């Protein structure tokens, strides 16, 4: 008989609980996030640089360019700071 250790039990049950917590118990139940559309983009003025993608590197690049004195537009479909950014 195969030995089922406490470590193995905890790793399997912990992973299963994480899956249940994120999907509500149903596979594919997690709703995808919808992109937000900003009205301010239509009224925006001219900028020196447009940074597309507000993830870690996009945010850092926009900050660095602002510190250099450039006007920057940071654009992301899901908004800055989002998990999908």
DSSP reduced 3-state for 51: strand
- Considering the domain architecture, whether residues 80 and 46 belong to the same structural domain is answered as yes
Tens of pLDDT, residue by residue over 46-75, are: 889 999 988 888 888 999 999 999 999 888
27 shares a domain with 40: no
Q: Please provide residue 27's backbone torsions phi and psi, each rounded to the nearest 5 degrees.
A: -60, 135
**Do 85 and 47 fall within a single domain?**
yes
Domain span including residue 61: 32-85
- Listed in sequence order, the residues at least 6 apart from 35 whose beta carbon sits closer than 8 Å to its beta carbon are 77, 78
12-55: pLDDT as tens digits: 666 555 555 555 555 555 566 565 555 555 555 788 999 998 88
> Taking a C-beta distance cutoff of 8 angstroms, is the pair 31, 56 a contact?
no
In terms of pTM, does the model score above 0.85?
no
Percent of the chain whose predicted confidence (pLDDT) is above 90: 13
The token pair that represents 34 in the structure block: 């919808």
Interatomic CA distance for residues 58 and 74, integer angstroms? 8
């Amino acid at each position: 008989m195969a030995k089922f250790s406490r470590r193995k039990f905890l790793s399997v049950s912990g992973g299963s609980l994480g899956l249940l917590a994120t999907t509500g118990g149903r596979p594919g139940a997690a709703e995808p996030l919808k992109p937000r559309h900003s009205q301010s983009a239509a009224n925006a003025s001219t900028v020196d640089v447009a940074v597309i993608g507000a993830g870690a590197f996009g945010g850092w690049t926009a900050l660095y360019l602002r510190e250099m004195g450039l006007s920057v537009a940071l654009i992301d479909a899901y908004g800055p700071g989002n998990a999908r950014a």
